[in-house]
Structure 1
């Protein structure tokens, strides 16, 4: 059965997409509660990205990529 074997090797490694996509939509529903239903699309996207980064352990760092020299240059330019 070389044809079936070849076909199986092409199909079996494909991951199912139902679980991750359902998780994304459920996560969005958690954010879009009745209290927060007035959020715009950009704010909703930002919240989803923030939740994703926090769950990955990255957190939120406003000074990421900034060193002292670049901060001084920006302040002197003002």
Structure 2
């Protein structure tokens, strides 16, 4: 699988998620040789961790926005994704 795959740390959340979906699709297809399956699984795990880190960072930013001026939560606000 050593194609010129982009550096995971440089991927946007959306690009990393698409790459992870592609890895899952290929693994579920069952047509990948064992060694390549292992490489795909390892890349998939790195992509999953990258996506989770991006989600955690986004959540932290949202929580900071909803905090009151004293730093205490001032309530909840819906996240519209836009």
TM-score band by shorter chain is: 0.3 to 0.5
Q: Which has the higher contact order (CA 8 A, sep 6+)?
A: 2
TM-score (norm 1): 0.41
Q: Larger Cα Rg: Structure 1 or Structure 2?
A: 1
